[in-house]
A and B are shown apart, each in its own frame.
Chain A
C-alpha cells in the first residue's frame, strides 16, 4: 500500500538501517564530487581538523536520502521536496561506519496552494554504530493526500 500524507502524523516515524559505508565507496564519492585532501588522502586527513579520513558531508546527505527512499519514501506518494531548512554535520563519517537513521515527523500540514498535497516536515538523524550523531537534517517533503480526501473536503 502506498503511504500518503495521512500516514505521517507528527511523532517518531521509524528507524532505518544499518547501512555499511565502505572505504571504496567513500573515496569514489569524494573523488567525483568533493576531492578535498581530507576526504581522499590519509596523511592530509590525519593533519585536518577531523583527524583522520572522513567521508564528504554530501555523501552522507546522499546516503541519508537513499536510506529514506529505501525506508519509506520509495513506497510513498512523495512528490519531491522544496529544500532543506537546516542540516548540521556534527561528526565525521568514517570508513566502514554502520549507519542508522532515525526519522521523526516534526510537522504535517496541507499545502495552501495545492489542497490535494500535504507537506510533511521530517527531522532525520544519522548515527554511527556507537550511537554518535553524525548529521541532523530538517526537510519538508510534499506527499499526496489519500485519493478522495481532498475532494470530499473541497465538496
Chain B
C-alpha cells in the first residue's frame, strides 16, 4: 500500500466487482442478518426490495474484501518494483453509509474508492488519516452503495 505522502485527493481506483448469488446472500444473512427478505425469494418479492436482497452488511463486507484484495495486488506490484510497502493501520470508523438501492440475487456490483480528504493525525505524528468515498455500482450503472471510509495511513517520516 502507498504512504500518506504519495496519496492525492481525487485519486480513484476501481477495486473490482462481485456477483451476489442467492446462496451467498442467504448464507451471510442466516449468520448475521436473518430478516425474511434476506433469506427467502418470495418474502423478498413481497418486500420494499422487490426480490431476494443482500444484507447491507454483506454488501459492505464484500466492498472491504475487494478493497483489501486490491491493496494486496498493488503491494505485490510495488514490491516487484523494489519499493517500500506501507502497512496501513486500522480505521476509526465511517460516516454517511447509504444503501441506495437493493442488491438482489444475480446482481454484479463494481466497487470504486476515491480519496476525499487527507490530514495528519493530531495525536499520532507517524500516521495520517485518509478519507475515501467507497461506492458500489450495479450492472445497469446504478449507484447502489456508498460510504465515507477512513483509515490510518503511515507517513514516510515514520520509516526513515
The answer to whether A69 and B35 touch across the interface, beta carbons within 8 angstroms, is: yes
Q: How far is the CB of A21 from chain B (nearest CB, A)?
A: 12
A149 at the interface (CB under 8 A from B): no
Scan residues 122-137 of chain B and give those whose CB is less than 8 A from a CB of chain A.
127
Cα–Cα distance between A154 and B79 once the two chains are bound (Å): 65
Cα–Cα distance between A61 and B68 once the two chains are bound (Å): 17
The answer to whether B31 and A66 touch across the interface, beta carbons within 8 angstroms, is: yes
Scan residues 1-38 of chain A and give those whose CB is less than 8 A from a CB of chain B.
32-38
The answer to whether B32 and A65 touch across the interface, beta carbons within 8 angstroms, is: yes
The residue in A35, A57, A83 that gathers the most chain B C-beta atoms within 10 A of its C-beta is: A83
What is the count of residue pairs linking A and B with beta-carbon distances less than 8 angstroms? Answer: 100
The A interface is mostly helix, strand or loop, or mixed, namely mixed
A115 at the interface (CB under 8 A from B): no
Contact status of A35 and B68, CB under 8 A, knowing A62-B33, A66-B32: yes
Cα–Cα distance between A86 and B90 once the two chains are bound (Å): 17
Contacts of A32 in B (CB 8 A): 61, 65
The answer to whether B96 and A33 touch across the interface, beta carbons within 8 angstroms, is: no
Cα–Cα distance between A99 and B78 once the two chains are bound (Å): 40
Contacts of B48 in A (CB 8 A): 79-80, 142
Interface of A with B (CB < 8 Å)? 32-38, 48-50, 54, 56-58, 61-63, 65-66, 69, 73-74, 78-89, 92, 142
Interface of B with A (CB < 8 Å)? 28, 31-35, 37, 47-49, 53, 55-57, 60-62, 64-65, 68, 72, 87-99, 127, 147, 152
Given A49-B127, A85-B96, A89-B91: 13 more A-B contacts, CB < 8 Å:
A34-B64, A35-B72, A49-B152, A58-B61, A65-B32, A66-B33, A66-B34, A78-B35, A83-B56, A87-B93, A88-B92, A88-B93, A92-B90
